Amino acid sequence: MPDQGSVFDYIVVGGGTAGVAIASRLSKYLPNCKIALFESGPDATHHPKVNDPNLWPSLIQEGLLVDYQTTPQVHLDDRVVPANLAGRLLSGSSGTNVGVWMRASRTDYDVIAKAAGHSRFTFEKLLPYFKRLENHWDVNAGSKYHGFSGPFRTVGGREYPLRQPILQSAERLGIPYNPDSANGDPTGVSDLTQNFRIISPSKSERQQSAKVYDLTRVHVECDSPVARIIVDTTGTAKGLELVSGQKFHSRREVIISCGAHKTPQILLLSGIGPREELEKHRIPQILNSPAVGQNLHDHSQLTLFFKLRDPKKGQALPFNGTMKPEFGHGTPWEFNIFSHIPASELSPILTSDGLPGVADETHSLLGNKRCHTMTMPIYFPIQANPLANPDIGIMAGTHVSFVALHLLPVSRGTIALKSANPKDEPIIDPKFMSTNTDRYIIRRAIRDVLRLVETEPLASELDGEAPPLDHGHPALTSKSTDGEIDARVRRYVSTISHPMGTCALGKVLDTEFRVKGVKGLRVCDASVFPEPLGAMPMQTIYALAELCADLIAGQAET
């Protein structure tokens, strides 16, 4: 008989964004049950560099932010793509990210719901969870799409020096201002919202999951990496084994919430996954589940630096002469510009990839109002492309960044095992830019940026792109050839660390997050998305965690 101190009713594996939320909610909904939460990293809830949202880059040196490496990417000049960042601490990536609080388009959620096989994943059905979560910063936004009493406070509405030039240039290009991108249609120019809490006129603090959710009734074990899930001969999950060899047992369920990189690794190490992968590493098979570790998709980006014509105007960090106290409430970043590519433009490219559903426009990428690309104007030269421009000072006040993002990739990658040793990180192969469609969309995203910065009145404030110093790359303009843009993409495109899809609903999981073929085992984290989400995923992951807890506790709509 196991020691009663090691027996719980529910065990949550992974104390990150979703895992903390699920454990906390279960402890509230099921007060007579024993809930345990296991996290591989430390409890850094009160670490000053975690709580200060502007110090997240330093968390790599603190050992709280893991930098996963990809395999060499064939379509990116065989580069190993760095900066696949993930938080390894209690709160996970919610304790290390930039706190972007946004929703995707209504169509995105409909596509996900169709692939998952249930309407509970539609925008309308998730909206109550979105509203439950938030305490929205804009009291004039109205309650149809926003909550004002949830646990997550948000900040936004800061007005930076280039606000009017950006808005006016976008309007001249036919891109309207969108006063509320959370209404199911994010297209247009919308104000950035971040889930930080204002603590003074010039300062805010991070709202990571372990700080927001109550864990006082949860048994929390930090610095406890999990080696595998224990599954008995009846195909029922009965607990877990730590890397240390210590075992813990569950009476009811185990919920894995370790993210799109680690969750499939744990399933594979537990004997759940593609037969060939298990046999390769001599892992006894519990269940042949071919889709585990497949369907990896991620957002990709290219960052461009533009020189200010007159740095004395204080239009970039450190905002000499233009600094406002509220600039300390979040990242020096004001807008997100979401764009939809019409079906008539995308269809020929999809056809060239031999993808089905183009002729009758049933391919998911052709859906109404999906946001294929996003532009992020940032008021300092963010070094998202490592060593591209090392001579440009972040605090020099001479350059701004425009980040071009591809949000809806067609390429699908994989997560595989390096070995059967749980201490080894998984093999990550996103297969970035492996389709004509993906190469077209990122090129389109970059051209959108170039058209914007060359349109008045913004054009009069900028003095062209500052290209990377190596390999003789020319400065990009709207007249650049596809070949010049493609060369920049191959050399510098990177990830913004939003891996998803590797334990997909409808494939690996049923409509209640249960692993098909194994009793008492669920997954809820970014790995569950069967299709790409055209937005930063944190708010949606929290909503899915709330839904998962409701389903476990019997409180959700059926």
Residues at the annotated binding site for FAD? 97-100, 226
Tokens 């120019």, located at residue:
189
Q: How many C-beta neighbours within 10 Å does residue 481 have?
A: 10
User: What does residue 515 show for φ and ψ, rounded to 5 degrees?
Assistant: -70, 120
The DSSP code sequence of 298-350 is: --EEEEEEEEES-GGG--STT-TTT--GGGGGS-SB-EEEEE---HHHHHHHH
Residue pair 368/338 in contact by the 8 Å Cβ criterion: no
Binding residues are: 97-100, 226
Q: What is the largest CA-CA distance in the chain?
A: 75
Burial 345-371 (b: 16+ CB within 10 A, else e): ebbebbeeeebeebeeeebbbbbeebb
User: Measured between alpha carbons, how far is 366 from 340 in angstroms, rounded to an integer?
Assistant: 9
Torsion of CA 256, 262, 266, 267, to 10 degrees: 80
Residue 416 tokens read as: 């595989």
Residue pair 333/376 in contact by the 8 Å Cβ criterion: yes
Number of H-type helices and E-type strands within the chain: 12, 28
User: Measured between alpha carbons, how far is 346 from 355 in angstroms, rounded to an integer?
Assistant: 12
Region of 77 please: left (phi>0), alpha (psi -120 to 50) or beta. Answer: left
The SS3 call for residue 121 is: helix
